[in-house]
Structure 1
Amino acid sequence: MVFLTMQRHLCCRLLSRKFLEPNWSRSNIVVVAPLRKRWFGQPAAQTHPHLVAEGEITPGLTVEEFHSRRCKLVRSALKTFQGLKSTEHHLFIFPSATTSFMTNDIPYTFRQNTDFLYLCGFQEADSLLIIKANSESLTTGDHESILFVPRKDAAKELWDGPRSGAHGAAVLTGVDAAFNSNEVEKYLQHYNKEHKNYVLWYNHGHPVHADFNSRVVGQLMQDKRHKCVENTTNLMHRLRVFKSVAETSLMQQSVEIASAAFIDVMKFSKPMINEAQVWAKMDFECRMRGAEFLAYPPVVAGGARANIIHYITNNQVVRDGEMILMDAGCEFHGYTSDLTRTWPVSGRFTEAQKQLYNATLYVQEECIKLCTQAYSLDEIFTRMLHLLAEQLSNLGIIPPETPPAQQINLARKYCPHHVSHYLGMDVHDTSTVSRGMKLQPNMIVTVEPGIYIPSDDYSVASRYRGIGIRIEDNILVTDSNPINMSVTCPKNVEEIEELMSK
């Protein structure tokens, strides 16, 4: 009954929306009639009730949440042009990702374009979302959303699996209208003919879909009936950096999956294990707990290879007495986790390893405390350098007579990366949001200091050379104290050694 009610509501919206073009083939608009059970191009409540609840587009995210995101986008965009009467109309274009092939007709694993997915939840390649608004939308966010999707094609579906088609896309997403993707050129030509001096919102700096960009949007931009072209990237990142309750819940699940997988990987590791086996174990444990795939190629670095910050070769043997530094996370229904742990493959830290590890852990825990509205990520980074300099001086790695400014330079030498980045649908999320802005509630960030001592740094005592350590947790910023979302993943020396002894 709930599903039929939603369909009737969508039918009314499709026929009554004031933004629909009066002359552009109203008969082409997909009106949603009650559906028998059918297959879609992605999990849906009708086919995957164990994953997707009624009223959700993707697991945990409702039709209403996606509509609210589009409203926020429109309001935020129109504020830029508030008071300018010559910019009555706004057209937003968001292409999906396309399928990439490793060879001939063998595809890579498909991952949807993040901004497109954020705004409509549709998972099929070679689709396009158009959002239309006018100046009245400034206060309400009212808009028309239109999807263009691959048409139903029995021959292609025989090989590649079901497609939703325009009808199914409208049912799944609750957009105002849906068409086959081969109609997008005709639609935009009509819009361009009927409107002048409109604002075109499109990520022209880094086009997501090369074919749409050259064949469709390129022609639109050449006609120059629009007043200006505005890049959507900054706008989208400012929205995505703040997580809703539902998004935070999905990210917490992603972090908990990765944390539990880390525990099993630590217990699985032993001297002479290959880094590739550790990688495979992490991938297996994340998938067994419901993650779709790892969020990025993991770093599995044994011994001195931990000093290569983005080491992803992962094909060497880890010998007795060495440590493993693993930087890994998973993607769970579109949301990522990003953790790092370092542990001794033998199960016991040497004294030198323990000293460097505890120094890193102290710095990390102090930095986590700073993830409040009083600090920016850049300010936490500056504090990290001072804390690292202090710890490295205590260990004699930085000579005690070193001037303060030189101590900071040496701390940067032994930790050449930033302490944090924003985390969300992408691992290095919302990259255009400045790390110089103060943190705000509902942001999620990483905290990941490290100490890396190269094997050939003869200014350092031999017992420390070749050791690389990083510890990374995922932190939710709140109105009060920060919340460590990955608190269940062991990181104290005693916890790790006890876990490894089982």
Structure 2
Amino acid sequence: MAAPMITRYFASSFKKKVDLRLAVSLFLKSNGCSQTLSAFKFQQHRYFGQPASKTHPHLVNEGEVTPGISKQEYSSRRTKFMQNIVKKTEGIIKNHIAILPSATKVFMSYDIPYTFRQNTEFLYLSGFQEPDSVLVLHTTDSGLKSVLFVPKRDPDKELWDGPRSGIEGALELTGVTEAYNIDYLEKYLYSYCVDNENYMVWYNLTKPIHEEFHKKILDDFVKQDGKRGIENPTSMLHQQRLLKSPAEIDLMKKTCDIASQAFTEVMKFSKPEINESHLYAKMDYECRIRDAEMLAYPPVVAGGNRANIIHYIQNNQLIYDGELVLMDAGCEYHGYTSDITRTWPVSGRFTRAQRKVYLSVLAVQEVCISMCTTDYSLADIYREMLNQIAVQLALLKLVPSDYVSERTKLTQAAAHFCPHHVGHYLGMDVHDTSLASKNMKLLPGMIVTIEPGIYIKADREDVKPEYRGIGIRIEDNILITKSKPIVLTKSCPKHPDDIEKLVNQNT
């Protein structure tokens, strides 16, 4: 069979919107070929809109939906979620239906999309990476049904945007009970209304994830008379996501390792009069060549006094000799994020005042990390952070001497020098499971950040001149265990002697 003949046949079929598998089968049959369709491995990638074991064996193992996470784990997540829902209303409501839309594309300008990032709750329960999809979970007499509604396969659109999984691909990839094209969603929900009554709808009505689906379909569905009520599932999902599985912990270790190694290279790359944007670019590059998909958030690269702007992201100034640079950055690796902050002198030498403040912050952080056990909550650690900062401020003589004997004033001063919390939960999102209370005791399997800081603006006239303009934060990612905490970012240098040695490798 001549290659041009095959090309013309496939091209004709593609223009007529004939399914590629059907086109291949007809071609083989018409030409008396005895080979089976499965022999043509090139067709496999046409049926997955995301990396799969058949198309990306270097990323995804057999039996996994996303790298590192198996079909069985995703199924267990869905089961546990619905069991928690049933348990919450046990004896009151029998039937439950949860609706979790995916994210949609967001465009930066006409026809030019931003990098797509899937809605976390949808991704956590399905592993499906395509936009404009919906996961529906509902109870049945025999247990749980999971139904995925996905974009219809469309050769014209796939020509521009890449392959879609379609119904068959979604079923094979995710292991859900059923899958349909997204245009069947409205009919499916209508049928559910007809067949059920006195049911609870679990849907984020207050902050719809997918505005188009909400306006066209979901808003009407949640207003049907047969329902018993509407509950937002997000908080319950956040509680479930707080505790990481062994597979998730492995992914978190990897993303923390990547970011730590990248930070090391960025420190080496530093020099006086370097542009903040160059350090940003270096971080991005070093993360990506270590297989991270992207940076986890717009990084803070703040030289000099700009470090006192907590969320400074302009990253467009020069950093001069004698100044510190505060970088807050992390990466995303197969859906899991790291979040590290380091502060270092671009010249390779801390001044005496810079080193004193740095060692003060480091001392505070070491106390806070030691408290990352099941005996404490993040709120407890935050209160202790303020106490420890207060002690350091007194030692540095950054507060009036009479404050030392007045604990309330000293603590208030500490909150002024460090206006943010000690940390947050970390996982699939940077500020992970934000609806989970910071007052609960830490549990094995949680991952948190610990990030104390001391910020002294350049215009403060109540401190000695040598301290003005210094802003220092040190942040690490901590895994909570049954015994002592594990610092996942321990390979990222943070002792001032180690930092100076590293930066001076560039000179």
**TM-score, normalized by length of structure 1?**
0.91
Tell me which residue corresponds to 1:214.
215
Q: 1:307 maps to what in 2?
A: 308
Is the CA contact (8 Å cut-off) linking 2:255 and 2:331 kept in structure 1?
yes
3-state SS of paired residue (1:343)? strand
Deviation at 1:89, TM superposition (A): 1.1
Looking at structure 1, the residues matched to 447 and 225 of structure 2 have their Cα atoms a distance apart, in angstroms, of: 40
Q: Determine the structure 1 residue equivalent to 2:19.
A: none
Match of 1:407 among 391, 410, 419: 410
Partner in structure 1 of residue 137 of structure 2: 131
How far residue 379 of structure 1 moved from its aligned partner, in angstroms, is: 0.7
Task: Tell me the residue number matched to 1:418.
Answer: 421
Structure 1 residue runs of 5 or longer lacking an equivalent are 1-32
Q: What one-letter code is carried by the residue in structure 1 that aligns with 2:395? A: N
Residues 86 and 94 in structure 2, CA contact (< 8 A), matched pair in contact too: no
Partner of 1:157: 158
Trace 1:191-270 onto structure 2 (pairs within 5 A): 191-270=192-271
**Which of 473, 476, 486 is matched with 2:476 structurally?**
473
Secondary structure at 1:212's aligned position in 2? helix
> How far off its partner does 1:221 sit?
1.8
* Structure 2 Cα separation of the partners of residues 296 and 495 of structure 1: 27
Q: Secondary structure at the match of 1:324?
A: strand
Corresponding residue of 1:325: 326
Deviation of residue 179 (structure 1)?
0.5
SS of the residue 1:217 aligns to: helix
CA distance in 2, matches of 1:44, 1:133: 29
Measure, in 2, the Cα distance between the counterparts of 1:205 and 1:248.
32
Q: Show the counterpart of 1:71.
A: 79
Find the aligned partners of 2:407 and 2:138 in 1 and give their Cα distance.
56
Query: Alpha-carbon deviations, 1:318-339, whole Å to 9, x = none?
Result: 0000011000000000000000
Whether the aligned pair in 1 keeps the contact of 2:101 and 2:135 (CA below 8 Å) is yes
Query: Aligned-pair distance for 1:297?
Result: 0.4
* Greater radius of gyration (CA): 2
Equivalent position to 2:103, from 88, 92, 97: 97
Partner of 1:203: helix, strand, or coil? Answer: coil
Residue of structure 1 aligned with 2:124, choices 118, 122, 135:
118
Q: Structure 2 residue aligned with 1:449, among 436, 448, 452?
A: 452
Aligned to 1:285: 286
Structure 2 SS opposite 1:196: coil
* CA distance, structure 1, for counterparts of residue 240 and residue 208 of structure 2: 20
2-structure distance, mates of 1:468, 1:212: 45
C-alpha displacement of 1:38:
3.2
2:419 and 2:180 map into 1 onto residues whose CA distance is 50
The answer to whether structure 1 residue 61 and structure 2 residue 69 are counterparts is yes
Partner amino acid, structure 1, of 2:195: E
Q: CA deviation at 1:306?
A: 0.1
Q: In 1, Cα distance between the equivalents of 2:400 and 2:235?
A: 44
Deviation at 1:434, TM superposition (A): 0.5
Amino acid in the other structure paired with 2:369:
I
Distance 2:137 2:433 in 1: 21
Distance in 2, matches of 1:283 and 1:342, equals 18
Q: Matched residues, percent identical?
A: 55
The 5 A counterparts of 1:356-375 are 356-375=357-376
In structure 2, the partner of 1:396 is 397
Matched, 1:37 2:44: yes
Determine the structure 2 residue equivalent to 1:6: none
CA distance in 1, matches of 2:137, 2:195: 16
2:374 and 2:205 map into 1 onto residues whose CA distance is: 34
Residue identity opposite 1:299 in structure 2: V
Deviations 1:341-367 (A, max 9, x none): 000000010000000000000000110
Q: CA deviation at 1:401?
A: 1.8
Root-mean-square deviation (Å): 1.2
Measure the CA separation in 2 of the matches of 1:452 and 1:480: 33
- Residue 432 of structure 2, aligned match among 418, 429, 432: 429
Question: What is aligned with 2:22?
Answer: none
Find out whether 1:106 has 2:107 as its counterpart.
no
Task: Choose the corresponding residue for 1:82, options 81, 87, 90.
Answer: 90
Shift of 1:222: 2.3
Measured in 2, the distance between the counterparts of 1:177 and 1:71 equals 15
Residues 90-145 of structure 1 deviation map (CA, whole Å, 9 limit, x = unaligned): 111000000000111110000000000000100000000001114x68xxxx4111
Partner of 1:167, secondary structure, is helix
User: SS in structure 1 opposite 2:401?
Assistant: coil
Report the residue type matching 2:487 in the other structure. N
Look up the equivalent residue of 1:172 and give its one-letter code. Answer: L
- In 2: Cα distance, 1:234 partner to 1:106 partner: 33
CA distance in 1, matches of 2:343, 2:135: 43
| Secondary structure of 1:223's aligned partner | coil
For residues 133 and 329 of structure 1, the distance between their equivalents in structure 2, rounded to whole angstroms, comes to 39
In structure 2, C-alpha distance between the alignment counterparts of 1:38 and 1:283, rounded to whole Å: 28
Give how far 1:443 is off: 0.3
Aligned-pair CA distance for 1:57: 0.3
Question: What residue identity is the alignment partner of 2:409?
Answer: Q
Pairing of 1:328-339 with structure 2 (within 5 A): 328-339=329-340
Preserved contact between residue 302 and residue 327 of structure 2 (Cα < 8 Å): yes
CA shift for structure 1 position 480: 0.4
1:384 aligns with 2:390: no
1:177-204 Cα distance to aligned partner (Å, 9 max, x none): 1110011011111111111111111111
Deviation at 1:399, TM superposition (A): 2.3
**In 1, Cα distance between equivalents of 2:225 and 2:258:** 49
Distance across 2 between alignment mates of 1:378 and 1:341:
23
Which one-letter code corresponds to 1:117 in the other structure?
A: L
**1:71 offset after TM fit, Å?**
0.8
Secondary structure of 1:38's counterpart equals helix
Residues 124-169 of structure 1 deviation map (CA, whole Å, 9 limit, x = unaligned): 00000001114x68xxxx4111100001100000001111111101
Q: Does 1:440 align with 2:443?
A: yes
Task: Give 1:297's aligned residue.
Answer: 298
- Helix, strand or coil: the match of 1:430? coil
- 1:487: which partner in 2? 490
Shift of 1:380: 0.3
The one-letter code sitting in structure 1 at the alignment partner of 2:280 is: W
1:237 CA displacement? 0.3
Q: In structure 2, what is the Cα distance between the partners aligned to 1:78 and 1:441? A: 25
In the alignment, the residues of structure 1 paired with residue 442 and residue 172 of structure 2 have an alpha-carbon distance, to the nearest angstrom, of 38
Structure 1 residue aligned with 2:18: none
Give the letter for the 1:457 counterpart. Answer: R
Q: Which amino acid aligns with 1:374?
A: D
Q: Which amino acid aligns with 2:123?
A: L
Counterpart position of 2:30: none
The residue type paired with residue 67 of structure 2 is: P
